[in-house]
Chains A and B, each alone.
Chain A
């Protein structure tokens, strides 16, 4: 029997590893964007300890797996004496772990993870998307996209390598930089959360895209000729699409949060 677990900050506790070994259960670290068909049982330590505090990943992982990989049995490995579907008390593991895993429910079934101390990670992601009473990240992105489309249009209108100072392109560039800064501030403020979620690989893609187009926004006048080469406009469309996809995992009635 194979059990996967996501490696967050700490290895699994020794007592848990020993019990799994006793029962001839092999442990494997869950890769980022894994081959999900090979994953049958996923042991999720909860809460996650981060230097900022305790995070509860269970509901978000359940929600993701329910829709994307319903065959996976998601097991919470908790520290409190609680009982509930797919909950393993790390201090009092069952005498027959293989039987416990065999009887566990798949993520596709209708059940809710046991909640313990900590901040639900989906709430943190909601704040990432919506900000704290400020503009949503998708709104900032669409404003940025609008300015970038205007830059693209104005570049097509002029044959000059460097448009004259009067060209409205410079206003659009200034506005685009302002939105780019807001986007970056939000992104790096919440980056610490990203590796704790099952769609980390999507966030990594967004991050790579941001790195790709950064040279334009850091020095747009100098890099105006690179605008097309960097595919700024196309990449922004890709980023928006990825964040919309991620938003679907984060905002859902099942997670008790309203649509954005």
Chain B
């Protein structure tokens, strides 16, 4: 079954139960998508005692389709992100051909899937699928409440944003990083420690270092916190915490290999290595890694 024929399954575990105080006791609702007979939108009640089991159940049920799983990170009821990533990794390693399963954590109202951040998104206020502003302006992802149908435009918008988010984010990191390297004479050599110190002294440099760290050390909570704080005040995301799994599961081994190549280079040049390198030589090495990856990644360089 190729990518075009797969149904799209979006699973969101969130505080849906706050919607009207009445959420099915089984802990989930399955909705369809307007004019898309095979696509499914699944709401899981994060307060349900078995919410993790429910997520896993749908992961298995739709194993041969394309899945995006969104886990609310403001509740303690969910397994930690790292555990979910490990579960999905294990789950997909038993399946062939490579399954398209992507995992994302969200929370705080500023991520792309919130209607407060993007009028064609999905999550409204207080566990709903709509948001009503004080001036009565309403944005809603609901096509038909009684028949449980979400609007295709909203579903597509969120789906494709998360599917293609890595290319513009990687492109921006590349551009920002090289811009900072340019402020050093091209013949001067640096150790990784010098390089990180140089970057951290630049405006926005700590964010760049945290982004690099999220590529090769996605569990470094201190630096991830910097990115999460930044994301609180921005409609854009900066972290690459979920990138490797998403890229592998969406685009297969070749893309994962390019990502791994980039990751190793970043680790050696900014964190683990000891070899000094000139900024011009580092530019060449980074350009090679970034270009190999960016050239095979589908999507656009701009986040719309």
The A-contacting residues of B in range 274-304, CB under 8 angstroms, are: 279-280, 283-284, 287, 290-291, 294, 300-304
Contact A14:B236 (CB < 8 A) given known A117-B291, A117-B294: no
Nearest CB of B to A123, in Å = 9
The count of residues in chain A whose C-beta lies closer than 8 Å to any C-beta of chain B is 23
Nearest CB of B to A8, in Å = 12
B182 within 8 A of A: yes
Q: Among A14, A92, A118, which residue has its beta carbon within 8 angstroms of that of B280?
A: A92
A54 within 8 A of B: yes
Residue pair B279, A13 in contact (C-beta under 8 Å): no
Determine which residue in B172, B175, B183 has the highest number of CB atoms from chain A within 10 A of its CB, and name it: B175
Which residues of the partner chain B approach A50 to less than 8 Å between Cβ atoms?
Answer: 302
**CB-based nearest B residue for A12:** B182
Residue pair A51, B234 in contact (C-beta under 8 Å): yes
Q: Among B168, B183, B283, which residue has its beta carbon within 8 angstroms of that of A52?
A: B168
Which residues of the partner chain A approach B225 to less than 8 Å between Cβ atoms?
Answer: none
Q: For the complex, what is the distance from the CA of A118 to the CA of B168, rounded to whole Å?
A: 9
B176 within 8 A of A: yes
Interface string of B178-191 (1 = CB under 8 A from A): 11011111100000
Q: Among A10, A14, A53, which residue has its beta carbon within 8 angstroms of that of B301?
A: A53
The count of residues in chain B whose C-beta lies closer than 8 Å to any C-beta of chain A is 29
Q: Among A15, A51, A54, which residue has its beta carbon within 8 angstroms of that of B185?
A: A15
A252 within 8 A of B: no
Which residues of the partner chain A approach B303 to less than 8 Å between Cβ atoms?
Answer: 52-53
Q: For the complex, what is the distance from the CA of A108 to the CA of B303, rounded to whole Å?
A: 33
B62 within 8 A of A: no
Which residues of the partner chain B approach A118 to less than 8 Å between Cβ atoms?
Answer: 171, 175, 301
Count of chain A to chain B residue pairs whose CB atoms are closer than 8 Å in the complex? 77
Q: For the complex, what is the distance from the CA of A30 to the CA of B176, rounded to whole Å?
A: 23
Nearest CB of B to A97, in Å = 14
Residue pair B182, A52 in contact (C-beta under 8 Å): no
Q: For the complex, what is the distance from the CA of A80 to the CA of B175, rounded to whole Å?
A: 10
Interface SS of chain A: loop
Nearest CB of B to A13, in Å = 4
A79 within 8 A of B: yes
Residue pair B301, A13 in contact (C-beta under 8 Å): no
Which residues of the partner chain A approach B174 to less than 8 Å between Cβ atoms?
Answer: 54, 117
Contact A49:B186 (CB < 8 A) given known A54-B301, A80-B287, A92-B280: no
Contact A117:B186 (CB < 8 A) given known A79-B283, A81-B287, A91-B279: no
Q: For the complex, what is the distance from the CA of A80 to the CA of B168, rounded to whole Å?
A: 17
Contact A81:B284 (CB < 8 A) given known A15-B186, A49-B172: yes
7 A-B contacts, Cβ less than 8 Å apart? A51-B172, A51-B234, A79-B175, A79-B182, A80-B287, A91-B181, A92-B186
Given contacts A52-B168, A54-B174, 17 further A-B contacts (CB under 8 A): A16-B182, A49-B179, A51-B172, A51-B234, A52-B236, A53-B168, A53-B302, A55-B301, A79-B175, A79-B179, A79-B287, A80-B291, A81-B287, A91-B182, A117-B174, A117-B301, A119-B300
B contact residues vs A (CB 8 Å cutoff): 168, 171-172, 174-176, 178-179, 181-186, 234, 236, 279-280, 283-284, 287, 290-291, 294, 300-304
A contact residues vs B (CB 8 Å cutoff): 10, 13-16, 47, 49-55, 79-81, 90-92, 117-119, 124
